[in-house]
Amino acid sequence: MAVEEEGLRVFQSVKIKIGEAKNIPPYPGPNRMRDCYCTVNLDQEEVFRTKIIEKSLCPFYGEDFYCEIPRSFRHLSFYIFDRDVFRRDSSIGKVAVKKEDLQKYHGKDTWFQLQPVSADSEVQGKVHLELRLSEVITDSGAINHKLATRVLECQGLPIVNGQCDPYAAVSLLGPSRSEAKKTKVKRKTNNPQFDEVFYFEVTRPLSYTKRQFDVEEEDVDKLALRVDLWNASNLKFGDEFLGGVRVPLRALGSGWGPRRMVLSSAQGERREDHVFPSEHYSPLRDLLLHSANVQPVSSSTAHTLGEVCREKQEAAIPLVRLFLHYGKIVPFISAIAHAEVNRTQDPNTIFRGNSLTSKCIDETMKLAGMHYLQVTLRPIIDEICAEHKPCEIDPVKLKESENLDTNRENLRHYVDRIFNVITTSGVRCPTVMCDIFFSLRESAATRFQVDQDVRYTAVSSFIFLRFFAPAILSPNLFHLRPHHPDPATSRTLTLISKTIQTLGSLAKSKSANFKESYMAAFYEYFNEQKYADAVKNFLDLISTSGKWDQKSIETPIMLKEGFMIKRAQGRNRFGMKNFKKRWFRLTNHEFTYHKTKDEGALCSIPIENILAVERLEEESFKMKNMFQVIQPERALYIQANNCVEARDWIDILTKVSQCNRKRLSTYHPSAYLNGHWLCCKLSADTAPGCTPCTGGLPANIQLDVDGDRETERIYSLFSTYMTKLIKMQEACGSKSVYDGPELEEYSTFVIDDPQETYKTLKLIVSAVQTLEQQHTKYKRDKFKKTKIGSQEHPIGDKSFQCYIRQQSESSTYSI
């Protein structure tokens, strides 16, 4: 999520590794085992779901999830569900981590105790109140105080059983009173606008005035206002509680007026990047982009980042995105790869470790090669998942109804098909990948001139081992499938991935690569020279430097599909009745929707007719997660299932239509309703847009990279590992003046030229300290400007209170 704050942009992202669950309560039946899966939720909105682990009370998942967070949230929650074929899946328990507590678990493996799921714990949203206290003099001369409570609106209330018909109950609580008043019910919205005022008589005691009271004294400091939100239900069980706030009147002090308050119950790593204007990053960015020209490259700024980070992956992700953004990824990877090859002694171990080079190439292939991967593998992967042919060749795991020879033939057929589509796909390999592979090939061949195969293995260790084989093994992680394959299909893909990986390795003794005897026996099918020749021809093609034209693909390739809700485009343009659930399908040729998954298309939109894909403001239809696909004649309004899925659809639709010649430069962020555009109020439905389109890059390399944000992330890493930067400076000094054996504490650093490395380290520390001062100033200024009770910092938001405390401590320390 990007938020503008006076020239500074704030981004949020989260990276989670879901490990395992243990000691889940057994099912109350003779079987006792459960089929469990885990979901990741932003508050109550599900954004990710793991595969189902069948017949286990200790399921192991081992899945990673990363996403940009497109909205604010209070809790990151994890739910464990037990799948039920005949009824709704039952929740076993949950773990909820407050937004402000996520940083505690950064980079750590942590066990959490599952908590029960109850209605009162599933609370979210805000209520906007305005409180006024006025004096009223009675006939007897006593002063009474009247409290005016205005309930303006609520935001983000939970949806219960697919609906939300909220109303508010307002109470003034005290030692001898409990008055309650209700607003009207607002139908079909979780962002209700109430704007109702309620009055409560409040009498202050003698200590507040010199007048003698003739009514019972009551201390205003003991009173509290409570606002509860309820969902009006027609069920016999009564209305459902949505949440509430309790505000002691003394807590408001003299600050009476509009207040926004977070609803509360009656009972992984998260990153937030604060990005300054571009000029603040010039010193650090210039050091990074100059890295490929530094001699030796081990003394460059980018290489130094890899040396100080705990994991090379931490450094590789922002480095690759930054260098791709500025078009300098090939010279940078060529430089660090050449240095690594020169340090390698055995050609059989080339690029086999988790070095900075390996991680950077992995990340580049993920970004630049995703479209290539989908075009190459998706059709055959879809076919395998649809056919469910038995392919088990382990005699121990073979089912009674299966035949081993038939299964081997099925598996051999699939391996042949995938091998052929890979080895004939060379002309579609992205240019940036070809240029990198060319550099790897040349460096390896020059270093190990005796070994004739090293020019192939240097490339195959990436394209087969780290690109195609993992995608076959876990197609959902590479966006080749929307969900996890079932266990039988997953086993088939595992066997195929092992075989393809070995075929691509060009190892001297293929059968020796398998620990399992049944795999060694199966591989004998492929012990023919034609397979090795096909691999070499493919590797020769993709490691030849040159600008390949992307071939037009005549066969439609499935890119994404799933259920969403769309608004009718025809004559009946108004009313909720026009919103219908449809199966959407996107290929490289067209965007269609269908009544069901297996039926023909009700509507087809050619990709060349997509003029823009943009978000639709929630106020248009009072519905979240909506976006619009703009065509020459009209716009198709669609609601995705959650915020992450909406972002994914917008991204991929934008990418496939990016090269359309007639793409719009402006659009209307709101709908055309009741004879005018809601955003600009123009009455002509053909009026040009009032807001600039967002847009993106061509689908060949589909990147939406913010160079300043990546530089901010690199600054954050340097700041985190500042002690290691200092230690590396000490190591440079030690190497310069001490000719004896290297001290053990400095042995982890690669320092080829101590003097050049020391100069670079000084420049890095200076640039990081300058940015640190900017961040400190921002935090101090933000603390001074913070207004409690505003929409950004509502009363009751514990994350805000924690934030204020942290910023206060930070500011005090800095001063």
Higher pLDDT, 660 or 517: 517
Q: Which residues pair with 637 in a beta bridge?
A: 628
pLDDT at 759 exceeding the cut of 90: yes
* β-strand partners of 629: 613, 636
Task: Give the pLDDT mean for 595-615.
Answer: 91
Contact 107, 269 (CB under 8 A): yes
Mean pLDDT of 8-20: 78
* Residue 575 pLDDT greater than 50, yes or no: no
CA distances from 77 to 41, 48, 586 (A): 5, 11, 31
Angle at 644 between CA 153 and CA 310, to 5 degrees: 115
Give 138's pLDDT tier (boundaries 50, 70, 90): low
The pLDDT confidence band at residue 578, using thresholds 50, 70 and 90, is: confident
pLDDT of amino acid 210: 39
pLDDT greater at residue 785 or residue 167: 167
User: Which residue is it, tokens 């906007």?
Assistant: 128
Per residue in 591-601, pLDDT (tens digit) is 999 999 989 99
High-pLDDT (> 90) share of the chain, %: 30
pLDDT interval class at 550 (50, 70, 90): very low
Band (311; pLDDT cuts 50, 70, 90)? confident
* Chain segment 391-416, per-residue pLDDT in tens: 999 998 888 888 999 999 999 999 99
At residue 631, the pLDDT reads 92
pLDDT of residue 495: 94
Share of the chain above pLDDT 70, in %: 79
CA distance 323 to 327: 6
Pairing relationship of beta strands 676-677 and 579-587 according to DSSP bridges: unpaired
At 752 the pLDDT is: 86
Q: How many CB atoms lie within 10 A of CB 717?
A: 20
Does the pLDDT at position 451 exceed 80? yes
pLDDT for residue 247 is more than 90: no
Please write down the HEC assignment for all residues of 696-763: CCCCCCCCCCCHHHHHHHHHHHHHHCHHHHHHHHHHHHHHHHCCCCCCHHHCCCCCCCHHHHHHHHHH
Neighbours of 552 (CB within 10 A): 6
Mean of the per-residue pLDDT values of the chain: 81
CB 421 within 8 A of CB 471: no
Report residue 492: phi and psi, to 5°: -60, -45
* pLDDT score of 361: 94
CA angle 475, 481, 487 (to 5 degrees): 65
Q: How far apart are CA 569 and CA 557, in angstroms?
A: 26
Q: Which two tokens stand for residue 657?
A: 């239509």
Q: Considering only residues 631 and 573, tell me which one the structure prediction assigns the higher pLDDT.
A: 631
Strongest mean pLDDT among 159-163, 356-360, 426-430:
356-360
The helix/strand/coil state of 170 is: strand
How does pLDDT run across 771-805, given as a tens digit for each residue? 999 888 887 877 777 666 565 556 555 544 554 45
pLDDT at 416: 94
Q: Which residues contact 442 (CB under 8 A, 6 or more apart)?
A: none
Indicate the SS3 state at residue 60: strand
Geometric angle at alpha carbon 646, from 644 and 648, rounded to 5°:
70
Nearest to 455 by CA among 347, 342, 345, 531: 347
CB-CB contact of 336 with 303 (8 Å) = yes
Asked if residue 104 has pLDDT above 70, the reply is yes
Backbone dihedral region for residue 745 (phi beyond 0: left; psi -120 to 50: alpha; all else: beta) = alpha
For residue 114, what are its two tokens?
């599952």
- pLDDT at site 786: 66
Of 132-136, 300-304, 479-483, which range is least confident?
Answer: 132-136
